[in-house]
Protein backbone atom coordinates (compact mmCIF):
# COMPACT_ATOMS: atom_id res chain seq x y z
CA UNK A 1 0.00 0.00 0.00
CA UNK A 2 2.83 2.39 0.88
CA UNK A 3 4.57 1.67 -2.42
CA UNK A 4 1.33 2.38 -4.36
CA UNK A 5 0.98 5.70 -2.57
CA UNK A 6 4.61 6.51 -3.39
CA UNK A 7 4.00 5.71 -7.07
CA UNK A 8 0.84 7.84 -7.11
CA UNK A 9 2.64 10.83 -5.59
CA UNK A 10 5.53 10.50 -8.01
CA UNK A 11 3.14 10.19 -10.95
CA UNK A 12 1.35 13.42 -9.99
CA UNK A 13 4.59 15.38 -9.75
CA UNK A 14 6.01 13.97 -12.99
CA UNK A 15 2.75 14.72 -14.82
CA UNK A 16 3.18 18.38 -13.82
CA UNK A 17 6.39 18.29 -15.87
CA UNK A 18 4.48 17.17 -18.98
CA UNK A 19 2.15 20.16 -18.60
CA UNK A 20 5.10 22.48 -17.96
CA UNK A 21 7.17 21.68 -21.03
CA UNK A 22 4.08 21.59 -23.27
CA UNK A 23 3.07 25.04 -22.04
CA UNK A 24 6.53 26.58 -22.41
CA UNK A 25 7.23 25.01 -25.82
CA UNK A 26 4.14 26.64 -27.32
CA UNK A 27 4.59 29.88 -25.39
CA UNK A 28 7.82 30.28 -27.38
CA UNK A 29 5.65 30.61 -30.51
CA UNK A 30 3.94 33.66 -29.00
CA UNK A 31 7.26 35.51 -28.91
CA UNK A 32 8.05 35.08 -32.61
CA UNK A 33 5.71 37.78 -34.03
CA UNK A 34 6.85 40.12 -31.26
CA UNK A 35 10.54 39.45 -31.87
CA UNK A 36 10.07 40.22 -35.56
CA UNK A 37 9.02 43.75 -34.64
CA UNK A 38 11.39 44.27 -31.74
CA UNK A 39 14.47 43.26 -33.77
CA UNK A 40 13.03 44.00 -37.26
CA UNK A 41 13.63 40.39 -38.30
CA UNK A 42 12.72 38.68 -41.56
CA UNK A 43 10.54 35.57 -41.41
CA UNK A 44 13.68 33.49 -41.98
CA UNK A 45 15.49 35.14 -39.06
CA UNK A 46 12.44 34.67 -36.84
CA UNK A 47 12.43 30.99 -37.81
CA UNK A 48 15.97 30.71 -36.46
CA UNK A 49 14.42 31.05 -32.99
CA UNK A 50 12.94 27.59 -33.50
CA UNK A 51 16.32 26.42 -34.83
CA UNK A 52 17.92 27.30 -31.49
CA UNK A 53 15.05 25.72 -29.56
CA UNK A 54 14.66 22.42 -31.41
CA UNK A 55 18.34 22.10 -32.29
CA UNK A 56 18.86 21.22 -28.65
CA UNK A 57 16.89 17.99 -29.17
CA UNK A 58 19.23 16.94 -31.97
CA UNK A 59 22.38 17.71 -30.03
CA UNK A 60 21.35 16.61 -26.55
CA UNK A 61 18.83 13.72 -26.71
CA UNK A 62 21.40 10.93 -26.78
CA UNK A 63 23.81 12.67 -24.33
CA UNK A 64 20.85 13.26 -22.00
CA UNK A 65 20.10 9.54 -22.02
CA UNK A 66 23.71 8.81 -21.15
CA UNK A 67 23.67 11.34 -18.29
CA UNK A 68 20.44 9.90 -16.90
CA UNK A 69 21.93 6.41 -16.94
CA UNK A 70 24.64 7.75 -14.63
CA UNK A 71 22.71 10.03 -12.24
CA UNK A 72 19.20 8.51 -12.24
CA UNK A 73 15.75 9.92 -12.94
CA UNK A 74 15.32 12.15 -9.91
CA UNK A 75 18.60 14.00 -10.32
CA UNK A 76 18.00 14.11 -14.06
CA UNK A 77 14.63 15.81 -13.52
CA UNK A 78 16.20 18.36 -11.15
CA UNK A 79 18.98 19.01 -13.68
CA UNK A 80 16.43 19.52 -16.45
CA UNK A 81 14.33 21.93 -14.36
CA UNK A 82 17.38 23.92 -13.26
CA UNK A 83 18.52 24.26 -16.87
CA UNK A 84 15.05 25.42 -17.92
CA UNK A 85 15.00 28.08 -15.19
CA UNK A 86 18.41 29.35 -16.31
CA UNK A 87 17.12 29.65 -19.88
CA UNK A 88 14.13 31.72 -18.74
CA UNK A 89 16.39 33.99 -16.68
CA UNK A 90 18.53 34.71 -19.76
CA UNK A 91 15.51 36.44 -21.32
CA UNK A 92 15.94 39.23 -18.77
CA UNK A 93 19.28 40.63 -20.03
CA UNK A 94 18.26 39.85 -23.62
CA UNK A 95 15.18 42.06 -23.31
CA UNK A 96 17.01 44.76 -21.37
CA UNK A 97 19.80 45.15 -23.94
CA UNK A 98 17.72 44.04 -26.99
CA UNK A 99 20.43 41.55 -28.00
CA UNK A 100 18.98 38.84 -30.23
CA UNK A 101 21.94 36.52 -29.65
CA UNK A 102 21.19 36.34 -25.94
CA UNK A 103 17.59 35.42 -26.76
CA UNK A 104 18.89 32.60 -28.96
CA UNK A 105 21.13 31.38 -26.14
CA UNK A 106 18.18 31.54 -23.75
CA UNK A 107 16.00 29.50 -26.06
CA UNK A 108 18.70 26.88 -26.53
CA UNK A 109 19.27 26.62 -22.78
CA UNK A 110 15.53 26.34 -22.14
CA UNK A 111 15.23 23.62 -24.76
CA UNK A 112 18.20 21.77 -23.29
CA UNK A 113 16.34 21.51 -19.99
CA UNK A 114 13.15 20.36 -21.72
CA UNK A 115 15.14 17.73 -23.64
CA UNK A 116 16.50 16.29 -20.40
CA UNK A 117 12.97 16.22 -18.96
CA UNK A 118 11.61 14.51 -22.08
CA UNK A 119 14.23 11.78 -21.91
CA UNK A 120 13.70 11.31 -18.17
CA UNK A 121 9.94 11.68 -17.68
CA UNK A 122 8.56 9.50 -20.50
CA UNK A 123 10.22 6.23 -19.45
CA UNK A 124 9.85 7.08 -15.76
CA UNK A 125 6.05 7.30 -16.08
CA UNK A 126 5.90 3.87 -17.72
CA UNK A 127 7.67 2.18 -14.81
CA UNK A 128 5.69 3.86 -12.02
CA UNK A 129 3.42 0.91 -11.46
CA UNK A 130 2.29 -2.31 -13.16
CA UNK A 131 3.45 -2.83 -16.75
CA UNK A 132 -0.12 -3.57 -17.92
CA UNK A 133 -1.19 0.02 -17.13
CA UNK A 134 1.95 1.75 -18.43
CA UNK A 135 0.26 3.00 -21.62
CA UNK A 136 -2.67 4.34 -19.63
CA UNK A 137 -0.37 6.34 -17.37
CA UNK A 138 1.63 7.74 -20.26
CA UNK A 139 -1.54 8.72 -22.15
CA UNK A 140 -2.81 10.57 -19.09
CA UNK A 141 0.48 12.43 -18.68
CA UNK A 142 0.55 13.34 -22.37
CA UNK A 143 -3.00 14.64 -22.10
CA UNK A 144 -1.77 17.20 -19.58
CA UNK A 145 1.05 18.03 -21.98
CA UNK A 146 -1.63 18.81 -24.58
CA UNK A 147 -3.49 20.89 -22.01
CA UNK A 148 -0.38 23.02 -21.59
CA UNK A 149 -0.05 23.51 -25.35
CA UNK A 150 -3.74 24.43 -25.59
CA UNK A 151 -3.77 27.26 -23.05
CA UNK A 152 -0.33 28.73 -23.83
CA UNK A 153 -1.41 30.69 -26.97
CA UNK A 154 -4.22 32.46 -25.10
CA UNK A 155 -1.90 33.47 -22.26
CA UNK A 156 0.77 34.46 -24.77
CA UNK A 157 -1.71 36.73 -26.56
CA UNK A 158 -2.80 38.21 -23.25
CA UNK A 159 0.60 38.85 -21.67
CA UNK A 160 3.10 38.96 -24.55
CA UNK A 161 1.27 40.16 -27.68
CA UNK A 162 -1.20 42.56 -26.07
CA UNK A 163 0.45 45.92 -26.73
CA UNK A 164 1.62 47.42 -30.02
CA UNK A 165 5.34 47.07 -30.71
CA UNK A 166 7.02 50.04 -32.41
CA UNK A 167 9.31 49.60 -35.39
CA UNK A 168 12.93 50.78 -35.35
CA UNK A 169 11.97 53.90 -37.32
CA UNK A 170 9.19 54.73 -34.87
CA UNK A 171 11.54 54.30 -31.91
CA UNK A 172 14.18 56.54 -33.49
CA UNK A 173 11.53 59.23 -34.02
CA UNK A 174 10.97 59.46 -30.25
CA UNK A 175 12.97 61.81 -28.05
CA UNK A 176 15.56 60.35 -25.68
CA UNK A 177 13.26 60.24 -22.64
CA UNK A 178 10.42 58.66 -24.59
CA UNK A 179 12.79 56.08 -26.10
CA UNK A 180 14.10 55.08 -22.69
CA UNK A 181 10.58 54.81 -21.28
CA UNK A 182 9.40 52.74 -24.23
CA UNK A 183 12.35 50.34 -24.16
CA UNK A 184 11.92 49.76 -20.43
CA UNK A 185 8.23 48.96 -20.93
CA UNK A 186 9.03 46.78 -23.94
CA UNK A 187 11.62 44.78 -22.02
CA UNK A 188 9.22 44.28 -19.11
CA UNK A 189 6.58 42.85 -21.47
CA UNK A 190 8.92 39.91 -22.15
CA UNK A 191 10.77 39.80 -18.84
CA UNK A 192 7.82 39.64 -16.47
CA UNK A 193 6.17 36.45 -17.86
CA UNK A 194 9.46 34.55 -18.07
CA UNK A 195 10.70 35.68 -14.67
CA UNK A 196 7.45 34.29 -13.29
CA UNK A 197 7.97 31.04 -15.17
CA UNK A 198 11.57 30.78 -13.93
CA UNK A 199 10.36 31.24 -10.34
CA UNK A 200 7.68 28.57 -10.80
CA UNK A 201 10.21 26.14 -12.29
CA UNK A 202 12.54 26.84 -9.38
CA UNK A 203 9.78 25.93 -6.91
CA UNK A 204 9.08 22.69 -8.79
CA UNK A 205 12.80 21.85 -8.75
CA UNK A 206 12.90 22.36 -4.97
CA UNK A 207 9.87 20.12 -4.57
CA UNK A 208 11.60 17.35 -6.54
CA UNK A 209 14.74 17.86 -4.46
CA UNK A 210 12.88 17.10 -1.23
CA UNK A 211 10.19 14.68 -2.41
CA UNK A 212 11.00 10.98 -2.16
CA UNK A 213 10.67 9.33 -5.56
CA UNK A 214 10.75 5.55 -5.89
CA UNK A 215 14.06 4.40 -7.33
CA UNK A 216 12.94 2.26 -10.24
CA UNK A 217 14.82 1.58 -13.42
CA UNK A 218 17.86 3.62 -12.36
CA UNK A 219 20.52 1.37 -13.81
CA UNK A 220 23.07 1.94 -16.50
CA UNK A 221 21.86 1.12 -20.00
CA UNK A 222 23.62 0.22 -23.23
CA UNK A 223 24.46 3.13 -25.53
CA UNK A 224 25.25 1.17 -28.69
CA UNK A 225 23.19 2.67 -31.53
CA UNK A 226 24.84 0.88 -34.46
CA UNK A 227 22.34 -1.97 -34.61
CA UNK A 228 19.17 0.13 -34.60
CA UNK A 229 20.55 2.46 -37.27
CA UNK A 230 20.46 -0.51 -39.66
CA UNK A 231 16.70 -0.92 -39.14
CA UNK A 232 14.95 0.46 -42.25
CA UNK A 233 11.58 0.92 -40.57
CA UNK A 234 13.14 2.95 -37.76
CA UNK A 235 14.99 5.21 -40.20
CA UNK A 236 11.85 5.83 -42.31
CA UNK A 237 9.88 6.46 -39.14
CA UNK A 238 12.53 8.89 -37.91
CA UNK A 239 12.18 10.87 -41.14
CA UNK A 240 8.39 10.87 -40.66
CA UNK A 241 8.82 12.21 -37.12
CA UNK A 242 11.20 14.88 -38.44
CA UNK A 243 8.57 15.95 -40.97
CA UNK A 244 5.75 15.93 -38.43
CA UNK A 245 7.50 18.08 -35.83
CA UNK A 246 8.71 20.50 -38.51
CA UNK A 247 5.26 20.86 -40.04
CA UNK A 248 3.47 21.28 -36.71
CA UNK A 249 5.95 23.86 -35.42
CA UNK A 250 5.97 25.79 -38.72
CA UNK A 251 2.20 26.20 -38.67
CA UNK A 252 2.08 27.07 -34.97
CA UNK A 253 4.99 29.53 -35.13
CA UNK A 254 3.80 31.51 -38.14
CA UNK A 255 0.05 31.17 -37.68
CA UNK A 256 -0.31 34.65 -36.19
CA UNK A 257 1.61 36.14 -39.12
CA UNK A 258 -0.47 34.08 -41.55
CA UNK A 259 -3.65 35.45 -40.00
CA UNK A 260 -2.30 39.00 -40.19
CA UNK A 261 -1.45 38.53 -43.88
CA UNK A 262 -5.12 37.65 -44.46
CA UNK A 263 -6.20 40.81 -42.58
CA UNK A 264 -8.15 38.63 -40.17
CA UNK A 265 -7.88 41.10 -37.27
CA UNK A 266 -10.38 43.34 -39.06
CA UNK A 267 -12.61 40.35 -39.81
CA UNK A 268 -12.60 39.30 -36.14
CA UNK A 269 -13.54 42.79 -35.03
CA UNK A 270 -16.40 42.92 -37.55
CA UNK A 271 -17.80 39.43 -36.79
CA UNK A 272 -19.81 39.38 -33.57
CA UNK A 273 -19.16 35.71 -32.76
CA UNK A 274 -15.40 35.96 -33.37
CA UNK A 275 -15.25 39.27 -31.54
CA UNK A 276 -16.97 37.70 -28.51
CA UNK A 277 -14.45 34.82 -28.43
CA UNK A 278 -11.49 37.20 -28.63
CA UNK A 279 -12.87 39.50 -25.93
CA UNK A 280 -13.63 36.55 -23.66
CA UNK A 281 -10.08 35.20 -23.91
CA UNK A 282 -8.38 38.59 -23.75
CA UNK A 283 -10.72 39.84 -21.01
CA UNK A 284 -10.74 43.22 -22.73
CA UNK A 285 -12.19 44.98 -25.77
CA UNK A 286 -10.65 44.02 -29.10
CA UNK A 287 -10.75 47.62 -30.33
CA UNK A 288 -8.00 48.59 -27.90
CA UNK A 289 -5.97 45.39 -28.40
CA UNK A 290 -3.21 44.95 -30.97
CA UNK A 291 -3.91 43.03 -34.18
CA UNK A 292 -1.43 40.36 -33.03
CA UNK A 293 -3.35 39.78 -29.81
CA UNK A 294 -6.74 39.73 -31.55
CA UNK A 295 -5.74 36.96 -33.98
CA UNK A 296 -3.22 35.33 -31.64
CA UNK A 297 -5.91 34.11 -29.26
CA UNK A 298 -7.28 31.81 -31.96
CA UNK A 299 -4.03 29.84 -32.17
CA UNK A 300 -5.15 28.23 -28.90
CA UNK A 301 -7.77 26.31 -30.91
CA UNK A 302 -5.00 24.82 -33.06
CA UNK A 303 -3.47 23.21 -29.96
CA UNK A 304 -6.87 22.46 -28.38
CA UNK A 305 -7.74 20.47 -31.50
CA UNK A 306 -4.57 18.44 -31.00
CA UNK A 307 -5.62 17.71 -27.41
CA UNK A 308 -9.14 16.61 -28.41
CA UNK A 309 -7.81 14.58 -31.32
CA UNK A 310 -5.45 12.71 -29.01
CA UNK A 311 -8.36 11.22 -27.07
CA UNK A 312 -10.27 10.39 -30.27
CA UNK A 313 -7.18 8.98 -31.96
CA UNK A 314 -6.24 6.88 -28.96
CA UNK A 315 -9.60 5.12 -29.20
CA UNK A 316 -9.42 4.71 -32.98
CA UNK A 317 -5.91 3.24 -32.91
CA UNK A 318 -7.03 0.73 -30.28
CA UNK A 319 -9.63 -0.81 -32.63
CA UNK A 320 -8.12 -0.14 -36.09
CA UNK A 321 -4.66 -0.54 -37.60
CA UNK A 322 -2.69 2.52 -36.37
CA UNK A 323 -0.92 2.84 -39.74
CA UNK A 324 -4.27 3.19 -41.53
CA UNK A 325 -5.50 5.80 -39.05
CA UNK A 326 -2.22 7.68 -39.46
CA UNK A 327 -2.61 7.71 -43.25
CA UNK A 328 -6.16 9.07 -42.94
CA UNK A 329 -5.05 11.81 -40.54
CA UNK A 330 -2.16 12.77 -42.85
CA UNK A 331 -4.59 13.15 -45.76
CA UNK A 332 -6.89 15.17 -43.49
CA UNK A 333 -4.06 17.58 -42.70
CA UNK A 334 -3.22 17.99 -46.38
CA UNK A 335 -6.89 18.62 -47.16
CA UNK A 336 -7.21 21.31 -44.51
CA UNK A 337 -4.10 23.14 -45.78
CA UNK A 338 -5.30 22.96 -49.39
CA UNK A 339 -8.66 24.47 -48.47
CA UNK A 340 -6.98 27.21 -46.46
CA UNK A 341 -4.57 27.96 -49.30
CA UNK A 342 -7.42 28.53 -51.74
CA UNK A 343 -9.70 30.36 -49.29
CA UNK A 344 -9.91 33.77 -47.66
CA UNK A 345 -11.26 35.15 -44.40
CA UNK A 346 -12.61 32.88 -41.70
CA UNK A 347 -12.63 29.81 -43.96
CA UNK A 348 -8.85 30.08 -44.41
CA UNK A 349 -8.46 30.65 -40.67
CA UNK A 350 -10.50 27.74 -39.35
CA UNK A 351 -9.21 25.20 -41.86
CA UNK A 352 -5.57 25.90 -40.98
CA UNK A 353 -6.54 25.68 -37.30
CA UNK A 354 -8.21 22.36 -38.12
CA UNK A 355 -4.81 20.86 -38.99
CA UNK A 356 -4.19 20.67 -35.25
CA UNK A 357 -6.91 18.03 -34.92
CA UNK A 358 -5.17 15.82 -37.48
CA UNK A 359 -1.74 16.41 -35.90
CA UNK A 360 -2.94 14.86 -32.64
CA UNK A 361 -2.08 11.18 -33.11
CA UNK A 362 0.94 11.61 -35.36
CA UNK A 363 3.76 11.76 -32.80
CA UNK A 364 2.75 8.72 -30.69
CA UNK A 365 1.65 6.68 -33.71
CA UNK A 366 4.83 7.31 -35.71
CA UNK A 367 6.83 6.60 -32.56
CA UNK A 368 5.10 3.27 -31.97
CA UNK A 369 5.29 2.14 -35.60
CA UNK A 370 8.97 3.05 -35.82
CA UNK A 371 9.83 1.07 -32.68
CA UNK A 372 7.79 -1.97 -33.70
CA UNK A 373 9.98 -5.06 -33.91
CA UNK A 374 13.04 -3.60 -32.18
CA UNK A 375 12.61 -5.73 -29.06
CA UNK A 376 15.29 -5.02 -26.47
CA UNK A 377 16.69 -2.23 -28.65
CA UNK A 378 13.67 0.05 -28.18
CA UNK A 379 15.56 2.32 -25.80
CA UNK A 380 18.19 3.02 -28.43
CA UNK A 381 15.46 3.43 -31.05
CA UNK A 382 13.76 5.99 -28.82
CA UNK A 383 17.00 7.94 -28.60
CA UNK A 384 17.23 8.08 -32.38
CA UNK A 385 13.62 9.21 -32.67
CA UNK A 386 14.04 11.94 -30.06
CA UNK A 387 16.92 13.45 -32.02
CA UNK A 388 14.56 13.83 -35.00
CA UNK A 389 12.55 16.41 -33.09
CA UNK A 390 15.20 18.62 -34.71
CA UNK A 391 12.69 18.91 -37.54
CA UNK A 392 11.31 21.79 -35.51
CA UNK A 393 14.65 23.55 -36.01
CA UNK A 394 15.11 22.90 -39.74
CA UNK A 395 11.71 23.21 -41.40
CA UNK A 396 10.43 26.49 -39.79
CA UNK A 397 13.37 28.58 -41.11
CA UNK A 398 12.85 27.01 -44.56
CA UNK A 399 9.17 27.85 -44.27
CA UNK A 400 10.09 31.42 -43.30
CA UNK A 401 12.52 31.69 -46.22
CA UNK A 402 9.83 30.64 -48.69
CA UNK A 403 7.47 33.19 -47.15
CA UNK A 404 10.09 35.94 -47.50
CA UNK A 405 10.89 34.96 -51.09
CA UNK A 406 7.35 34.25 -52.26
CA UNK A 407 4.35 34.18 -49.91
CA UNK A 408 2.53 31.99 -47.39
CA UNK A 409 0.73 30.08 -50.16
CA UNK A 410 4.04 28.80 -51.54
CA UNK A 411 5.46 28.13 -48.08
CA UNK A 412 2.46 25.96 -47.20
CA UNK A 413 3.44 23.61 -50.05
CA UNK A 414 6.50 22.65 -47.97
CA UNK A 415 4.24 21.74 -45.05
CA UNK A 416 1.98 19.68 -47.30
CA UNK A 417 5.06 17.82 -48.57
CA UNK A 418 5.85 16.89 -44.95
CA UNK A 419 2.39 15.43 -44.44
CA UNK A 420 2.64 13.67 -47.82
CA UNK A 421 5.73 11.82 -46.59
CA UNK A 422 3.93 10.87 -43.37
CA UNK A 423 1.12 9.46 -45.53
CA UNK A 424 3.70 7.48 -47.51
CA UNK A 425 5.25 6.06 -44.34
CA UNK A 426 1.86 5.12 -42.91
CA UNK A 427 0.57 3.62 -46.17
CA UNK A 428 3.71 1.55 -46.69
CA UNK A 429 3.80 0.28 -43.12
CA UNK A 430 1.90 -3.01 -43.17
CA UNK A 431 3.07 -4.31 -39.82
CA UNK A 432 0.86 -5.85 -37.21
CA UNK A 433 -1.29 -3.73 -34.92
CA UNK A 434 0.74 -2.02 -32.19
CA UNK A 435 -0.25 -0.31 -28.98
CA UNK A 436 0.14 3.48 -29.29
CA UNK A 437 1.55 5.05 -26.11
pLDDT in tens, 305-353: 888 887 787 778 777 888 898 999 999 999 999 999 999 899 999 999 9
| Residue pair 332/305 in contact by the 8 Å Cβ criterion | no
| Residue pair 318/433 in contact by the 8 Å Cβ criterion | no
Nearest alpha carbon to residue 412 among 365, 351, 368: 351
**CA–CA distance, 87 with 82 (Å, rounded to integer):** 9
Residue scoring higher pLDDT (111 or 334): 334
DSSP 227-254: TGGG-HHHHHHHHHHHHHHHHHHHHHHH
**CA–CA distance, 375 with 370 (Å, rounded to integer):** 12
Q: Cα dist. 101→39, 48, 57, 153, 369 in Å?
A: 11, 11, 19, 24, 39
Q: If you ran DSSP here, which 8-state letter would residue 221 be given?
A: -
pLDDT value, residue 290: 80
| Residue pair 39/186 in contact by the 8 Å Cβ criterion | no
Q: Is 148 helix (H, G, I), strand (E, B) or coil?
A: helix
Residue scoring higher pLDDT (27 or 348): 348
Q: Cα dist. 377→56, 123, 135 in Å?
A: 24, 14, 19
Residue scoring higher pLDDT (205 or 49): 205
Residue scoring higher pLDDT (35 or 201): 201
pLDDT digits (tens, 9 = 90+) for 351-401: 999 999 999 888 878 877 887 777 666 667 777 888 898 898 889 889 989
- Cα-Cα-Cα-Cα dihedral sign, residues 16, 17, 18, 24: positive
**CA–CA distance, 297 with 73 (Å, rounded to integer):** 36
pLDDT value, residue 32: 64
In the chain, pLDDT over 90 holds for what percent of residues?
A: 23
Q: Is 5 helix (H, G, I), strand (E, B) or coil?
A: helix
Does pLDDT of 5 surpass 70? no
pLDDT value, residue 89: 92
pLDDT value, residue 163: 60
Residue scoring higher pLDDT (138 or 68): 68
Which of 67-71, 110-114, 141-145, 354-358 is most confident?
354-358
Report which secondary-structure segment, H or E, holds 334: helix 322-341
pLDDT digits (tens, 9 = 90+) for 147-204: 887 787 667 766 665 566 666 677 677 788 887 777 677 667 667 778 888 998 899 8
Average of per-residue pLDDT values in the chain: 80
pLDDT value, residue 133: 53
pLDDT interval class at 414 (50, 70, 90): very high
Does pLDDT of 78 surpass 80? yes
pLDDT value, residue 216: 56
pLDDT digits (tens, 9 = 90+) for 200-251: 889 989 988 887 777 655 444 555 677 778 888 989 999 999 999 999 989 9
What is the average pLDDT across 281-290? Answer: 71
Sequence-separated (6 or more) residues with CB below 8 Å from residue 245? 54, 363, 388, 389, 390, 391, 392, 395
Nearest alpha carbon to residue 269 among 217, 208, 346: 346
Residue scoring higher pLDDT (178 or 29): 178
Which of 93-102, 109-118, 186-195, 349-358 is most confident?
349-358
What is the average pLDDT across 65-70? Answer: 76
CA atoms within 13 A on the CB side of 200: 14
**CA–CA distance, 433 with 308 (Å, rounded to integer):** 23
Q: If you ran DSSP here, which 8-state letter would residue 374 be given?
A: -
pLDDT interval class at 436 (50, 70, 90): very low
pLDDT value, residue 348: 94
Does pLDDT of 288 surpass 60? yes
Does pLDDT of 417 surpass 50? yes
pLDDT value, residue 218: 47
**CA–CA distance, 200 with 206 (Å, rounded to integer):** 10
Q: If you ran DSSP here, which 8-state letter would residue 219 be given?
A: S
Residue ranges of alpha helices (H) inside 98-159 are 100-126, 134-159
| Residue pair 52/32 in contact by the 8 Å Cβ criterion | no
pLDDT value, residue 380: 72
What is the average pLDDT across 117-130? Answer: 72
Burial label for 273, CB within 10 Å (0-12, 13-18, 19+), is exposed
Amino acid sequence: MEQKKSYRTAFIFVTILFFLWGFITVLVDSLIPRLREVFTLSYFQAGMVQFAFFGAYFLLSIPAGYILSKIGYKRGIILGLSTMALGCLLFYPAASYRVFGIFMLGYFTLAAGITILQVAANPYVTILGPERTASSRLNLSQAFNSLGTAIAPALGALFILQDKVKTTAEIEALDAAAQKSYLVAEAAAVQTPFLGIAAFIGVIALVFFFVKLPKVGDKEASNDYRKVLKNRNLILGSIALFCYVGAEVSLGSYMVNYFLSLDLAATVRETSFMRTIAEWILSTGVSSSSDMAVVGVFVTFYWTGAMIGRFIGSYLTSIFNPAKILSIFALGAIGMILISNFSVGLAAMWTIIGVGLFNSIMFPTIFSLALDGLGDDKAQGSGVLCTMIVGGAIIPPAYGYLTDSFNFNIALILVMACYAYIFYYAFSNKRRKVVVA
